[in-house]
Amino acid sequence: MNPRRTFATARRVLLQLRHDPRTVALMLGAPCLLITLLKYVFDDRPQVFHTMGAPMLGVFPLTVMFVVTAVATLRERTSGTLERLLTMPLGKLDLLLGYALAFGLLTLVQGLLAFGLTVGLLGLTVAGPSWLLLAVAVADGLLGMALGLFVSAFATTEFQAVQFLPAFVLPQLLLCGLFTPRATMAAWLHALSDALPLSYAVDAMNEITTRSGLSGRTVADLLIVLGCALAALALGAVTLRRRTA
């Protein structure tokens, strides 16, 4: 890993995004829009929003970042940009860390906007530290980004990259405990949910919503989510291809 090459890659990606305002608007605005819709869909049942608002603050950024990063990385490969870059003294890990740094910065801005909207304007109340809620939301966005970078290696078209969403994200959404407590699931489903990172993100969000103070379990769940993001980046460095045939 060469920090100078990593930062140079991050700078190049940010400059490209600067000229793609629609993608930036999607990344920053879509989670805010979806959370606002959730609030007013259950406007006559405010308790539903106070129960689901915090977990969805993590789910929406993860989903958006997954799609955007998967498509953006695939576009770099199909256009031949990755092949040209990797002929230079630039390692795959340098490249992916540069992407992670650039998209991670946008994930932080995305998390701040969604958090400010949800806790501020929409009035979501949490019993635990609000800064920890923000930390978990940003970690979820980073996880979505890392998974998107990883799965882009297995797609040959942008349409295929989007098709990975049902395979990688929707099963986690069903099994993470958002719709029913994981403890009430069948034993094999509970065991499967234990292997999915979104389960720990939702567990952390629920802990922050219902329990005051800083819980060791919440910190452990946050570290697991971040660890899964790092593992996805490492796998992405191994599987990254120079170009799509």
pLDDT digits 0-9 by tens, 101-129: 888 898 899 989 999 999 888 988 888 88
DSSP string across 99-144 = HHHHHHHHHHHHHHHHHIIIIIIS----SS-HHHHHHHHHHHHHHH
pLDDT at 235: 85
Q: Reduce the DSSP state of residue 245 to 3 states and report it.
A: coil
What is this structure's pTM? 0.87
In the chain, the DSSP E strands lie at none
Q: What is the pLDDT of residues 135-152, one digit of tens each?
A: 999 999 999 988 988 888
Give how far Cα 47 sits from Cα of 43, 52, 115, 130, 132, Å: 9, 9, 18, 19, 21
Report d(CA 133, CA 126) in Å as an integer. Answer: 8
Residues of the chain with pLDDT under 70: 1-2, 79-92, 240-245
Report d(CA 85, CA 10) in Å as an integer. Answer: 13
